[in-house]
Amino acid sequence: MRDNRFHGRNVLLMRDVEIVTTKDRYRAGETVEGTMFVRCDKELRCNAIHLTFTGREHTKIEVGDSESSTTYKDERVYFTVRQDFEGAAVVAAGEVQYPFRFRLPDDVPSSYSGLCGWIEYTLTGVVELSWARDLRRKTTLSVIQPAKKPASQSQHMALDRSGRSVTDTELAVFDVELEEDSICLGNPIKLRFRVARDVKTRGVRVELQNEEFTSARRITDKRRWTLSQHFVEELELGREIWVSVKLGTDDSMPVSFDRAIVRSAASIKATLDIPWARDISAVIPVRLSHRAGAYAGDNNDEAGSDWEFM
């Protein structure tokens, strides 16, 4: 949307470029429309004026220590298209507007900003000058790729005292059930767990985690961080009974995807916090996505659940 910092001023900046779009967020397949503004306080002789729309994924991985490190970079360009407004020309003093219109491809992934990997869609406006540094302005667009909710399944994991997965529930000291493993952002993740009567614990920690896998020139990297979490204290735990929990999600969280040099994967991690011993954790993969036909999820998926949540 338009940056209003130039309005209300009596004096124009000497030379400036601004890019304004009609919306803050776009869906794949939509048309990006807007205006590129060129402002100057006197006549400006230029070689060309143009705007480039680019979609790409790129990675940046640093390898080394505090004294010496090497940076590896890689990228994959989805598309690049340029709109030329002027060749060699003289731009009159004041403000000149250049409307633009680009169509996003249907199959591009959602925007993503991670720790070592990014998926970005940018508009770069340039006024080429032969006698000075080019005037340049870049703006980044937010793009989502909505998808119909894939088939979802409930998931169950039972762990014994050593943290190993078991099929015999009589050996389990920690059971975790996930109602659905495919989540539309904006809807809660619903799960429940059960702790054996004779287990000493401080409580149970439930986390929605995201893992980023990146590569750059044969160098790989993996990062993990927590998107949402909830802790149930020991005093709140019933023993041998199911305790239900909701974890919230929102549209700012990364969706799950697998591209050439960047991959994002989410999981639910439920940890039994055991004093003076090694914690045991159940990790269940989940898939996060944007809801088709909407920019954010709603809560319709909660209908019909017979679990009682904390």
Tell me the pLDDT tens digit for each residue of 43-60: 989 999 999 999 999 999
Structure confidence at residue 3 (pLDDT): 52
Q: Residue 59: which residues within 8 A CB-CB, separation 6 or more? A: 72, 73, 74, 75, 116, 117, 118, 214, 215, 216, 221, 261, 262
Query: Each residue's pLDDT tens digit in the chain (310 positions)?
Result: 555 444 444 454 478 999 999 998 999 999 999 999 999 999 989 999 999 999 999 999 999 887 889 999 999 999 999 999 999 999 999 999 999 999 999 999 999 999 999 999 999 999 999 888 899 999 999 999 987 766 789 999 999 999 999 998 788 999 999 999 999 999 999 999 999 999 999 999 999 999 999 999 999 999 999 999 999 999 888 889 999 999 999 999 999 999 999 999 999 999 999 988 789 999 999 999 997 754 543 444 444 455 444 4
Q: Do residues 120 and 53 touch, judged by C-beta distance below 8 A?
A: no
- CA-wise closest residue to 292 among 14, 11, 27, 1: 27
Taking the C-alpha atoms of residue 58 and residue 214, their distance in angstroms, rounded to an integer, is 9
Identify the pLDDT of residue 302: 47
Confidence (pLDDT) at 72: 96
Tokens 């078991």 sit at which residue? 166
Q: What is the pLDDT of residue 1?
A: 57
Q: 308 to each of 165, 194, 227, 243, 302, how far by Cα in Å? A: 26, 14, 23, 8, 12
pTM metric for this prediction: 0.84
* 3-state SS track over the chain: CCCHHHCCCCCCCCEEEEEEECCCEEECCCEEEEEEEEEECCCEEECEEEEEEEEEEEEEEEEECCCCEEEEEEEEEEEEEEEEEECCEEECCEEEEEEEEEECCCCCCCCEECCCEEEEEEEEEEEECCCCCCEEEEEEEEEECCECCCCCCCEEEEECCCCCECCCHHHCCEEEEECCCEEECCCCEEEEEEECCCCCCCEEEEEEEEEEEEEECCEEEEEEEEEEEEEEEHHHCCECCCEEEEECCCCCCCCCEECCCEEEEEEEEEEEECCCCCCEEEEEEEEEECECCCCCCCCHHHCCCCCCEC
Contact 288, 181 (CB under 8 A): no
The rounded distance, in Å, linking the Cα atoms of 45 and 90 is: 4
Backbone angles phi, psi at 77, to 5 degrees: -95, 125
Provide the pLDDT for residue 10: 47
| Nearest-angstrom CA–CA distance, 289 and 154 | 17
Do 1 and 20 meet the contact criterion of CB atoms below 8 Å apart? Answer: yes
pLDDT given at position 206: 98
Q: What is the pLDDT of residue 293?
A: 56
Domains and CATH numbers, the chain: 4-144 (2.60.40.640), 155-302 (2.60.40.640)
Q: How far apart are CA 70 and CA 210, in angstroms?
A: 26
- For 177-225, the pLDDT digits (tens) are 999 999 999 999 999 999 999 999 999 999 999 999 999 999 999 999 9
